[in-house]
Structure 1
């Protein structure tokens, strides 16, 4: 999958999570764990395929709970696929994200870089999304990223 996007938008969100970096890192590596916290509020998810290693691919479907929401793939779903580009144990996860959509505003390759920084309270988790498709409204994306980080906190702080 070639990186063809001319969009240079970057969306970013951070949160301190009361869990050590190894706990958070492991939440990315098991499909049942990953899909339990990744979908933002108002969505559910299903893993189609998942190979968490550098160069490994994944595919998932996120479904909007509210019928009125328009998905990127169908009226209420976002199908995404991508590759794990980099896995640095307890420090960083970098992956590509492609939305399966016929709408050019949602096409292209977005890069997600998850950074795990140990702090006195636990781990500061930062997600940077590079080359965000133009069809993804910035305010919606930032709300979704904060929701996902809140889910990750709930999942790992237990």
Structure 2
């Protein structure tokens, strides 16, 4: 049985949907904007196609934060389940963690909806592990969207 909650975030970004979609499917761009404020990251593997996998390692800048995977890191192993350029992408991910509160499979859907002033980027995260607080997740999603906007606007 699926567990966890659903979190959402959105932002209108003054850029075309195709440009925003490409920022998600190019690992060199992705690592510049996706890690939330206070984190840096690297892409260990990236295969952007349905069934393709990716692995991100996100590192906290604050040495006091242990991270979901320990050692100040969040290691995310994911698989793309849908790609419909430039409108939608979805993936399921697992955190590499011994903490049962961080375990499970979370799905993230990213929608890129053209509007007159740009593109509305909508994120829906379902089955969010209970170890991720709603407030922290909202802050992280907003931070990533702000950094994406800064990259393309």
1:152 pairs with 2:148: yes
1:22 is matched with 18
2:104 is matched with 108
Is the 8 Å Cα contact of residues 59 and 74 (structure 2) preserved in structure 1? yes
1:41 is matched with 37
Aligned-partner Cα distance in 1 for 2:142–2:71: 24
Q: Which residue, 126, 129, 133 being the options, matches 1:133? A: 129
User: How far 1:8 sits from its partner (Å)?
Assistant: 3.9
Give the aligned length: 153
Task: Give CA-to-partner distance per residue, 1:78-136, whole Å, 9 cap, x none.
Answer: 00011011000110010111100001100000000000100111000011000000000
1:93 pairs with 2:89: yes
Is the 8 Å Cα contact of residues 4 and 130 (structure 2) preserved in structure 1? no
Aligned-partner Cα distance in 1 for 2:137–2:116: 29
Task: Give CA-to-partner distance per residue, 1:130-152, whole Å, 9 cap, x none.
Answer: 00000001100000000000011
User: How far 1:52 sits from its partner (Å)?
Assistant: 0.5
Runs of 4+ residues deviating >6 angstroms? none
Q: Which residue, 53, 65, 70 being the options, matches 1:74? A: 70
Task: Give CA-to-partner distance per residue, 1:41-86, whole Å, 9 cap, x none.
Answer: 0000100000011110000100000111130001410000110110
TM-score by length of 1: 0.94
TM-score by length of 2: 0.97
